Amino acid sequence: MIWIAAAAATSVMAGQGLATVQCRVAAGQVLRDCVVLSETPTGANVGAFALKLAKGFHPQKGDRRITNGKIVIHMKFKLP
């Protein structure tokens, strides 16, 4: 968890991170071709961490967040 170490070391955003990723929804509701749309704090690898997590997401068929075969996922991370 690279972003956690960077956030803790610099006290950036009090150990919080935000990321927005967009992925293509492939057959079997598997996410492919994910890209980071935004991340905060910049340079703390929050986006890279979010991309790794997105690989494990499987949206349900009919999920209203799926538009034109793509889904946008907003993630918020916080140190315990």
32, β-bridge pairs: 24
Domain 2-78 has CATH 3.30.2420.10: yes
Mean of per-residue pLDDT scores for the chain: 83
Q: Is the pLDDT higher at 21 or at 29?
A: 21
E-strand spans in the chain? 16-26, 30-40, 66-67, 70-78
Ranges of each domain in the chain? 2-78
User: Bigger pLDDT: 27 or 19?
Assistant: 19
Contact between residue 73 and residue 54 where contact means Cβ atoms under 8 Å apart: yes
